[in-house]
Structure 1
Amino acid sequence: MSLALKSEQYANELWRYKNAPGAQQQHFRMGLAAVLWRFLALHEGCITAHCAVPGFDTVTTVPSTSGRETHPLRTMVADMVGATRGRHRDLLVPAPNAVDLGRVASLSRYSSSALWGENILLVDDTWTTGNHAQSAAAALKAAGAGSVAIVVLGRHLNLTYGDTATLVEQARLRSFSWDVCGLRPWEHSLNMQ
């Protein structure tokens, strides 16, 4: 949905919604839930069109591999975001050795409940290497999912890595608009979806 640059505001919010104390945590969860809800209201149709599916039957999240009992992203998607609340299902469970797999995509990182061709919208909070989301998508497909699309709240970037600074500079030249999405990079209205 957005770039999350190391040490900048959005990356900070993606960290705080999981780790801030008390009421601060709830504040950041509400803000991120509102962003996800608005994004999906405007662009889920773009994602379904791109995947050539009529819609996503089920929405699930990439579970924590850090031992967190209830991941705050799951709470947001299952309880707070109206666009996903009625379709949410807990499908994925991390393997006991998931944390040992490090930053590699692995079909053995997660297991999924059985599926029978349902199209799945998989939500993750932060994409750094993409290995957790890709591993989760592979587990869903192995369990029988139809199409699996991944929506990530923030693409974590470090400006000191490779040519990232140049790419971010180019991105900053574009004006932000809720009506522009990554799959259909032109403004559109809801009635066009």
Structure 2
Amino acid sequence: MRGLRLLRAPAALLGCLCVLLVLGGTPAYAHSALKDAIPGPGAKVAPGADVVALTFGRLKSGTTPKISLVGSDGAPVPVGRPRVADDSVVCAAVTPLRAGVATLSYSIVSADGDQQSSAFQFEVADGAESVATPSACKGLSLAAPGNGGESDTILGLGRTTALVAFPVTGVVVVGGGVLVVRTMRGRRLTGRDACR
């Protein structure tokens, strides 16, 4: 009997852990997954479209989504600063699209603070159906492509390089200044000792 009592506690603990693993292991479904897009994933559109729209669940207010577009030649397609309509539709002006397969990448922050990034492709082809400006984007004053967006360079350096190089340079300059001051003080003290 005593042996069974000793086994009950570990068995109960193991059962609780299994329940937690099963319940805790289910994926969390984000409320802000991409619901619709113009042009959408796998869509075929006519050349000349100059606005893209991505529809999500509710987005976090005060955050600016990021959208980038790459043409079939691998060159970036200029995109204006994205704007949010109705707390869920992200609109951005783009340079009129040319024929080929384009890749659109985006990064958004959902209302619960979860950041999501993804990408999809669509085809721009002659003879395909033209894409009208999405209704949610029509009332917005969209920044022209290449204007009002975030620059990819800071003082001629790539954004990432600059964000690392500038603080490191600051630390080196300040550290060098402290070293010079200490060296100068040390020399003054040594000179005073010699005079005594």
- TM-score band by shorter chain is under 0.3
Q: Taking CA–CA contacts closer than 8 Å with sequence separation of 6 or more, which of the two structures ends up with the larger relative contact order?
A: 1
Please report the TM-score for the alignment, with normalisation by the length of structure 1.
Answer: 0.24
Greater fraction of residues in strand: 2
Please report the TM-score for the alignment, with normalisation by the length of structure 2.
Answer: 0.23
Greater fraction of residues in helix: 1
Question: Which of structures 1 and 2 has the bigger CA Rg?
Answer: 2
